[in-house]
Structure 1
Amino acid sequence: MESGLYRMLPMLCESDHEYSNPSQTMAEEDEDQRINRRIERLSLHLNPYLRDEEELGRVVELVGCAGVRPKLIISVSTAAQLSEYMRGKHRGLQDRVYEYFNGRPDLHTPVEISKDDHRELCMRQLMGLVREARIRPFVYVAQEPDKYFSILEAVGSVDISLGIKMGVQYSLWGGSVLNLGTKKHRDKYYEGIDNLDYPGCFAMTELHHGSNVQGLQTVATFDPLSDEFVIDTPNDGAIKWWIGNAAVHGKFATVFAKLLLPTHDTKVVSDMGVHAFIVPIRDLETHQTLPGIEIHDCGHKVGLNGVDNGALRFRSVRIPRDNLLNRFGDVSREGKYTSSLPSINKRFAATLGELVGGRVGLAYSSVGVLKVAVTIAIRYSLLRQQFGPPKQPEISILDYQSHQHKLMPMLASAYAFHFATQDLVKKYSEMKKSHDEQVMGDVHALSAGLKAYVTSYTAKSLSICRESCGGHGYAAVNRFGSLRNDHDIFQTFEGDNTVLLQQVAADLLKQYQQKFQGGTLAVTWNYLRESMNSYLSQPNPVTARWEGEDHLRDPKFQLDAFRYRTSRLLQSAAVRLRKHSKSLGSFGAWNRCLNHLLTLAESHIESVILAKFIEAVQSCPDPSAQAALKLVCDLYALDRIWNDIGTYRNVDYVAPNKAKAVHKLSEYLSFQVRNIAKELVDAFDLPDHVIRTPIGMQSTAEAYSQYTRYVGF
């Protein structure tokens, strides 16, 4: 009993010195008094409200057992329950994708393949999926988006290029017809898009304009004499650039252009803002490029060379008036413009709001890439042995604390992102059914933030995974190179990550303003409505010192810490913007505070991710699986707190002793997660023919034999 207490003495003396009586030295105290005083102080650490002797006795018992911590073990049945919980209700649909490609080795992407061959293979893969396996993603785009995104994740695991090509065809080109058009467009194009008779493009980005969509320069001028729109590229900067499916396979393009209407003054036109138009670019029978259209190949890229990105120039290309996707704005035969929305800005916002599915898909797919990379890195780290105690067998490299520090928080993040993006898909599906404005606003901000945060994290993690596998991680057959290169662009398309985080920050500031004007808050900001005052108050000096494991692993403490940081950042950003706008104007003030605003956005997204992870843990029906998830969730939370411990220390939210406790516990949790790391990655349920790497096979006994056979032994 006493030995257990004395092991705690250095920590207690260091953290509780302010309670000591300066007139009384340790030498003057009786040993029993010292012990009792330490016990009392320990009780206050664990629960400052403990007072009666019975509770104090329980604390003493806890101290005596403090050095013994059982390992968490996942049984076979628990692993199955965890996998079932992770894969969800569309497991069978994903298995159909995996089984189809497993039975078609001719459609597997080789390690070495030329750009042109990869493009053709990618098209054959998509055709096989749709026409042979009879998996029709387009059916789900509008009706059941959660099924569509499940297919997208599975397809991306086969080849990221295939996932992107499928997304271009069904989410972008097909989605623009469904979401921006009306019944006449769906009746005319739906079947051809669905069965791939009408492969198409999504022509938004221009050479000079990407993120600033309202600044696009391509024009569509209405000609009332012929009842047509005339599409023109007025200068080189307006050439449509990086257009997927354009270089080789596309027959149509949804072209975003400024809609210009003639006025009574023949020299003046009315600019009605950016609209979307269906423009045929190749002949359906001969596949020849149509008159007035120039198509050029964007060439070899850093990654995703299975996708045929091209550049499009339009020279007085005429299309029927009906080719205007007219859900939010229409032009009559007489050239009169009508819209249910009163301004250019509102029409623009509505248009982009309907295209948010692309961001949802990228966030969801990025998690799939992270799962593959983490699975390969952890399985190899369990297999590879190196050094160890003298005259004893070598140990697994995952037994080294430095390796656990690299990979275990990453594994925890993969789980956290899985549940957060699942919730995003659920919200997106709700939005598509209800068209509720509040849900739409929430999905817009949340998809922007999660896409930016998750894709940036995954991009960094892919390099860490490669490094953690040493030289073997550099072999192309082990996929880190292709995964890293193919995924890298996720940080840029469907919205540059820095721009998207600014959108999140702008939304937060809007919500903050509405909070103090009595307005309603978006769903993800419920915590501001419920307890804004507590998050903006001064930290409790007692709570700031609590360092017990139960307290640090309490979801309420973790979530409060995340939300406190976000609330402080939000309040200080609002104050700074108000101050600088007086001398710099609104744009100058925003630019002066930009790094602060990006940190604010990331902090908010981390809060959302943790909240969804905690919900998922609490909803898990199997107690053993729930315990495993709780461990992973705690690691995710405490690792994030430790990574930003300077912020918490600067505002006295965490005292020095508590900061040390957070660090120690996060390292210990990494060790505990390492003990079940194999079962945790196995729960992703990714078959060997999907992982497709010798060092990432589920049966580690066969890894080296597979590897040696690959190189010719």
Structure 2
Amino acid sequence: MQSPYPDPTGEDESQSITNRRIQRLSLHLTPNYPQPQNDATHHQLQLLECAKAATLKVDTDSLSIYLRGKHKDIQDRVLDYFNNRPDLQTPLEILKDDHRELCMRQLVALVRDAGIRPFRCVVEDPAKYFAILEAVGSVDVSLAIKMGVQYSLWGGSILNLGTKKHKDKYFDGIDNMDYPGCFAMTELHHGSNVQGLQTVATFDPLTDEFIIDTPNDGAIKWWIGNAAVHGKFATVFAKLMLPTHDTKGVSDMGVHAFIVPIRDFETHQTLPGIEIHDCGHKVGLNGVDNGALRFRSVRIPRDNLLNRFGDVSRDGKYTSSLPSINKRFAATLGELVGGRVGLAYSSVSVLKIAAIIAIRYSLLRQQFGPPKQPEVTILDYQSHQHKLMPMLASTYAFHFATLHLVEKYAEMKKTHDEQLVGDVHSLSAGLKAYVTGYTAKSLSICREACGGHGYAAVNRFGSLRNDHDIFQTFEGDNTVLLQQVAGDLLKQYKEKFQGGTLTVTWNYLRESMNSYLSQPNPVTARWESEEHLRDPKFQLDAFRYRTSRLLQSVAVRLRKHSKTLGSFGAWNRCLNHLLTLAESHIESVILAKFIESVQNCPDASSRAALKLVCDLYALERIWKDIGTYRNVDYVAPNKAKAIHKLSEYLSFRVRNIARELIDAFDIPDHVTRAPIAMQSDAYSHYTQYVGF
């Protein structure tokens, strides 16, 4: 298959393809063992390679334009507004209560003073909303989460689960911050298992009201953002109970969402029957006022049921266009994936800032060197390149993957296409879990890469790490989300053998299963040339082969164990295997989007830089899991060694353009804020901070 990248030699295309095939066939028949050479020759070749590598020039402006896309202006507007308002900037040391009040003032000022209305973007242009969210998170991660609670969760529940009467009543107040609200789903005993929630909403036909009750301590709503201090409303998720005339007395219609006022508009006092407590100081995100809510026979009008997927009439009759509790529940949660999309997208923003700080400092800091010669920068050490360059490559890969997710989500909200809904649900779950997990680990690596200076609070790794850490848990625990991805893949694997329709997510696996599992030892197993290893077809084939093999093998294991352990026991027995499958699938999607983004880049110098970074991402991931490929002879020993050597060499080459790559993120100093990451006079800024 022809490489999708332009041939740099300029030779005739058909001749080039023929020559490559002959070369590869000869390599297969006669392994390309290294020829002996004296030390002088070897040294000269190394110098030539280094000189060749140094010739890659990057047009940072062009690359930045390609990366930032059409929403650059709105992001710059947000960042410039806060830069010009010192009174709204979060100080390094701030008490919890002060941080909460500042966060509320920041959000109100953004909406009312700066005139930026995120809620309207949620409706009209979701991609623009996520761009605003990314910029706001660069100012203060707590502010981004508070904005997400107000507009994605509280506001999103009205838009996505309510009907026209709810939108007409609440939209303007949510939009202009007159109606600050909460999203009360999580309970003390239940988080990810939403169907297991215990809060109840019982319909009273005599008064035409629902009665909201917390039946036990385990059902107390917990970790509810905006609840402890600022919220006036809450979207409360509860089991809808209807009275019956049989011995049961009530009928459980499943989890539904209800609008519950929690504070008086005039006095801001907690309303009767509602008990609110502060969840207290947290590891991070202390600008968000998380609270716990208990309800004691709180009455709300029947109209406060968010009734898009199920309604109750005045005489207590339940109606729904969906025939079962499970289908209604799936539809409800399916409309709430925007939070996951936002977390995946925002996590990449945190990773960019951490990468900028670590890499700029590594280009600045000098340590040791050849005898009687100047010290070298720490990024010139191979070990440091190994820490940071694959991470930089992953940051670029995640940027394009989450941008793709945002585009798919925006298309889904516009078209409501059923297949697209399923695809976005799976992709958002997988990317949120994979990206946030990777970022959490990378924040510690970046801190360590900056040595003692990375431990100074002013250089931000501590606050970034603490604020981001919860990204792995809320909007779905990462382990649970990866299981959703694995379950979706297995469902479609089953459909493959029953002649069912395959979704977008599955299409590449169909080809992979048919092409590669029938030929477990491919002809390319020994090919080790740089041209072959940097061929995107080889890279994608390797990623997809691994996913296909994992999918087939876990399906066999589940079928075997279910006979003796039952379906739940079999799933638990294979759980680590299932998580690995999900991560492998998401890596395949990430690489595919990265390759596509390289192809689509219009600027030649930017395209060349992105190709280099993409190759490093692909080969480093293959090398990380080389045991899997070796165990099935997909990669021969000589090829494994070549992959390792080339990934180290690509790390060196990416190091040579690292400054340009991080500059292309176009994040100004007043946003990164770390003194050691300033674009000039970094040490001067750092020493001034401590008083010199």
Amino acid aligned to 1:190: F
In 2, the alpha carbon distance for the partners of 1:191 and 1:539 equals: 60
Q: Deviation at 1:142?
A: 2.2
Within the candidate set 510, 516, 534, 1:535 is matched to 516
Q: Deviation at 1:540?
A: 3.7
Per-residue CA deviation, residues 212-249 of structure 1 (Å, 9 max, x unaligned), is 00000000000000000000000000000000000000
97-106 vs 513-522, which deviates more? 513-522
**Residue matched to 1:71:** 53
532-541 vs 273-282, which deviates more? 532-541
Within the candidate set 217, 241, 244, 1:263 is matched to 244
TM-score using structure 2 length? 0.93
In 2, the alpha carbon distance for the partners of 1:633 and 1:627 equals: 10
Are residue 47 (structure 1) and residue 50 (structure 2) matched? Answer: no
In 1, the alpha carbon distance for the partners of 2:646 and 2:137 equals: 36
Matches within 5 A, 1:146-157: 146-157=127-138
In 1, the alpha carbon distance for the partners of 2:55 and 2:20 equals: 30
Are residue 86 (structure 1) and residue 63 (structure 2) matched? Answer: no
Amino acid aligned to 1:710: Y
In 1, the alpha carbon distance for the partners of 2:648 and 2:609 equals: 16
Question: Is the Cα contact below 8 Å between 2:512 and 2:541 reproduced in 1?
Answer: no
Within the candidate set 111, 128, 135, 1:130 is matched to 111
Question: Is the Cα contact below 8 Å between 1:46 and 1:547 reproduced in 2?
Answer: no
Q: Deviation at 1:541?
A: 4.9
Are residue 607 (structure 1) and residue 584 (structure 2) matched? Answer: no
In 2, the alpha carbon distance for the partners of 1:575 and 1:587 equals: 15
In 1, the alpha carbon distance for the partners of 2:254 and 2:24 equals: 61
**Residue matched to 1:182:** 163
**Residue matched to 1:3:** none
**Unpaired runs of 5+ in structure 1?**
1-41
**Residue matched to 1:21:** none
Are residue 163 (structure 1) and residue 144 (structure 2) matched? Answer: yes
Are residue 641 (structure 1) and residue 622 (structure 2) matched? Answer: yes
Per-residue CA deviation, residues 568-626 of structure 1 (Å, 9 max, x unaligned), is 00000000000000000000000000000000000000000000000000000011100
Per-residue CA deviation, residues 682-707 of structure 1 (Å, 9 max, x unaligned), is 000001011011011122xx111111
Amino acid aligned to 1:599: T
Are residue 548 (structure 1) and residue 529 (structure 2) matched? Answer: yes
Amino acid aligned to 1:277: F
In 2, the alpha carbon distance for the partners of 1:50 and 1:396 equals: 39
Are residue 706 (structure 1) and residue 685 (structure 2) matched? Answer: yes
Within the candidate set 379, 382, 387, 1:398 is matched to 379
Q: Deviation at 1:44?
A: 8.9
Amino acid aligned to 1:273: G
Are residue 570 (structure 1) and residue 551 (structure 2) matched? Answer: yes
Amino acid aligned to 1:251: K
Question: Is the Cα contact below 8 Å between 2:513 and 2:545 reproduced in 1?
Answer: no
Q: Deviation at 1:558?
A: 0.2
Per-residue CA deviation, residues 1-30 of structure 1 (Å, 9 max, x unaligned), is xxxxxxxxxxxxxxxxxxxxxxxxxxxxxx
**Residue matched to 1:375:** 356
Amino acid aligned to 1:712: G
TM-score using structure 1 length? 0.91
Aligned length: 660
Are residue 141 (structure 1) and residue 112 (structure 2) matched? Answer: no
In 1, the alpha carbon distance for the partners of 2:479 and 2:20 equals: 47
Are residue 664 (structure 1) and residue 645 (structure 2) matched? Answer: yes
Question: Is the Cα contact below 8 Å between 1:168 and 1:201 reproduced in 2?
Answer: yes
Are residue 323 (structure 1) and residue 304 (structure 2) matched? Answer: yes
Question: Is the Cα contact below 8 Å between 1:366 and 1:487 reproduced in 2?
Answer: yes
Are residue 628 (structure 1) and residue 628 (structure 2) matched? Answer: no
**Residue matched to 1:28:** none
Amino acid aligned to 1:548: S
**Residue matched to 1:11:** none
CA RMSD in angstroms comes to 1.8
**Residue matched to 1:685:** 666
In 1, the alpha carbon distance for the partners of 2:544 and 2:581 equals: 11
Per-residue CA deviation, residues 467-510 of structure 1 (Å, 9 max, x unaligned), is 00000000000000000000000000000000000000000001
Within the candidate set 219, 222, 237, 1:241 is matched to 222
Amino acid aligned to 2:571: W
Per-residue CA deviation, residues 606-655 of structure 1 (Å, 9 max, x unaligned), is 00000000000000001110000000000000000000000000010000
Amino acid aligned to 1:489: I
Amino acid aligned to 2:609: A
Q: Deviation at 1:530?
A: 3.2
Within the candidate set 433, 436, 440, 2:414 is matched to 433
In 2, the alpha carbon distance for the partners of 1:526 and 1:88 equals: 28
Per-residue CA deviation, residues 93-121 of structure 1 (Å, 9 max, x unaligned), is 10001100010011111111110010011
**Residue matched to 1:279:** 260
Question: Is the Cα contact below 8 Å between 1:73 and 1:675 reproduced in 2?
Answer: no
Question: Is the Cα contact below 8 Å between 1:43 and 1:50 reproduced in 2?
Answer: no
Please state whether the residue corresponding to 1:273 is helix, strand or coil: strand
Are residue 110 (structure 1) and residue 76 (structure 2) matched? Answer: no
Per-residue CA deviation, residues 145-198 of structure 1 (Å, 9 max, x unaligned), is 100000001100111000000000000000000000000000000000000000
**Residue matched to 2:331:** 350
Per-residue CA deviation, residues 56-79 of structure 1 (Å, 9 max, x unaligned), is 9xx9xxx99975331255657x11
Q: Deviation at 1:528?
A: 2.3
In 1, the alpha carbon distance for the partners of 2:428 and 2:481 equals: 9
**Residue matched to 2:10:** none
Amino acid aligned to 2:25: P
Question: Is the Cα contact below 8 Å between 1:45 and 1:545 reproduced in 2?
Answer: no
Per-residue CA deviation, residues 251-276 of structure 1 (Å, 9 max, x unaligned), is 00000000000012375101000000
Question: Is the Cα contact below 8 Å between 1:241 and 1:311 reproduced in 2?
Answer: yes
**Residue matched to 1:455:** 436
Question: Is the Cα contact below 8 Å between 1:295 and 1:313 reproduced in 2?
Answer: yes
In 1, the alpha carbon distance for the partners of 2:625 and 2:379 equals: 25
Please state whether the residue corresponding to 1:685 is helix, strand or coil: coil
**Residue matched to 2:284:** 303
**Residue matched to 1:120:** 101
Structure 1 residue runs of 4 or more that deviate by more than 6 Å after TM superposition: 42-45, 63-66
Amino acid aligned to 1:709: Q
Q: Deviation at 1:49?
A: 5.8
In 2, the alpha carbon distance for the partners of 1:72 and 1:437 equals: 49
Seq. identity, %: 84
Amino acid aligned to 2:53: K
Amino acid aligned to 1:682: D
**Unpaired runs of 5+ in structure 2?**
1-18, 36-40
Please state whether the residue corresponding to 2:498 is helix, strand or coil: coil
Per-residue CA deviation, residues 396-426 of structure 1 (Å, 9 max, x unaligned), is 0000000000000000000000000000001
Q: Deviation at 1:46?
A: 4.4
In 2, the alpha carbon distance for the partners of 1:370 and 1:221 equals: 45
In 2, the alpha carbon distance for the partners of 1:176 and 1:254 equals: 7
In 1, the alpha carbon distance for the partners of 2:509 and 2:141 equals: 39
Amino acid aligned to 1:493: F
Q: Deviation at 1:290?
A: 0.3
In 2, the alpha carbon distance for the partners of 1:43 and 1:293 equals: 73
Within the candidate set 444, 466, 482, 1:501 is matched to 482
Amino acid aligned to 2:156: G
633-642 vs 703-712, which deviates more? 703-712
Question: Is the Cα contact below 8 Å between 1:46 and 1:551 reproduced in 2?
Answer: no
